[in-house]
Amino acid sequence: MNIKISLLVISGAVLFSCTSVKKSLRQEYTVISYNVENLFDTIDDPKVPDEEFLPASEKKWDSEKYQKKLADLARVISEVNPKEMPEVVGLIEVENRTVLEDLVKTGKLNGQDYAVIHEESPDYRGIDVALIYRKDAFKEISHEVLPVIFPDDPEFKTRDILHVTGKLRNKTVHLFVNHWPSRIGGDEKTEPKRVLAASVLKSKVDEILFVDAKARIIIMGDMNDEPVNKSLQETLGAAAPNTGATLVNLMMPDDVAGKGTYFYSGAWNMLDNLVVSETVLKGKGMQVEDQKGNIFSNDWMIFTNKNGDKTPNRSYVGNKYVGGVSDHFAVYFKMIVK
């Protein structure tokens, strides 16, 4: 009888141990994309058109406002997943490397050992895209920038696309951070510029997939277009989940449901997109939770207008400082990596 009990105890311990090992092999990763709305420092850089965001400007952008902006942004990033700090964060509308280094030393981001990847781009507004990541979770292999040049308008300067290759656990992934040309001047007039930006990205993605048809690709950013627009759906070929497409737009379900990340003229726009390859969505050893992306917002980030619409609370309305975080909501997805 005692021998039988001992064997049962041993068997249970072995089973528990195996289950624990299996659970330890599953790890949740959070990927965020966030347009942080003009994250400028307060120092005049003669190489960057930063005059709008200086203490002597009409906006009176000073250290107090800058520190509040950093604190608010750090709070947003840290609140997306209350259980664990996000592993990978794509950031849009940053002035330089300095603001990124300041950000990762702010609030709950401080002490998390975030690394920064940033390159200056020729953008006419002086803003760039960047990536921060937790070094214990992601290992950079290399990075490059993909210039977006317009043959019919060579004087127009926009943001480069940042391409980062690295490893999540032992799996190689290709990350792309984007900020395509804006809609200022009208959607139809400016659409060709976003289509061209999409074609630059598509060319690189095709190059990667030609070498490895099962490559893991994660595309994020403010495309200034919605999932159903030509640049994303036709040029890039990003379709809805469960359509069998090579690239899937994780924000398509929320867009179809009428949700958005940017509020303009009384309507929501899903300008912030998350696009992944099928091998990330539901591949071997890597799957996106719920097979969709999410919009992150919290009460303290929101402004309620006179019509009762709850919108992102921005930092400025014109030159008037209102003290909000950003005019965009962040988007994110979680995935299990084994």
Domain boundaries, the chain: 27-337
Question: Are β-strands 247-249 and 238-239 bridged in parallel, bridged antiparallel, or unpaired?
Answer: parallel
CA-to-CA distance for 241 and 221, rounded, in angstroms? 18
In a structure prediction context, what are the per-residue pLDDT tens digits for the chain, which is 338 residues long? 455 544 444 445 444 444 443 445 669 999 999 999 999 999 999 999 999 999 999 999 999 999 999 999 999 999 999 999 999 999 999 999 999 999 999 999 999 999 999 999 999 999 999 999 999 999 999 999 999 999 999 999 999 999 999 999 899 999 999 999 999 999 889 999 999 999 999 999 999 999 999 999 999 999 999 999 999 999 999 999 888 899 999 999 999 999 999 999 999 999 999 999 999 999 999 999 999 999 999 999 999 999 999 999 999 999 999 999 999 999 999 999 99
Query: What tokens were used for 30?
Result: 């959070």
Q: Report which secondary-structure segment, H or E, holds 9.
A: helix 2-24
Which one-letter DSSP state was computed for residue 160? P
Q: 22 vs 13, 87, 279, 288, CA distance in Å?
A: 14, 21, 21, 18
204: three-class secondary structure by DSSP: helix
* Residue carrying structure tokens 């994110």: 332
CA-to-CA distance for 9 and 4, rounded, in angstroms? 9
Query: What tokens were used for 220?
Result: 């994020």
> Contact 221/92 with Cβ under 8 angstroms?
yes
Whole-structure pTM value: 0.92
Neighbour count for residue 307 (Cβ, 10 Å): 7
Query: What tokens were used for 68?
Result: 């509040």
What is the homologous superfamily of the domain 27-337 according to CATH?
Endonuclease/exonuclease/phosphatase (3.60.10.10)
Write down how long the chain is.
338
Q: Which amino acid is at 34?
A: Y
Question: Are β-strands 262-264 and 247-249 bridged in parallel, bridged antiparallel, or unpaired?
Answer: unpaired
The pLDDT value recorded for residue 2 is 54
Task: Give every CB contact of residue 190 below 8 A, 6+ residues apart in sequence.
Answer: 181, 182, 183, 184
The pLDDT value recorded for residue 18 is 45
CA-to-CA distance for 195 and 183, rounded, in angstroms? 12
The pLDDT value recorded for residue 246 is 95
Question: Are β-strands 27-39 and 88-94 bridged in parallel, bridged antiparallel, or unpaired?
Answer: parallel
Task: Give every CB contact of residue 299 below 8 A, 6+ residues apart in sequence.
Answer: none
First to last CA, the chain: 41
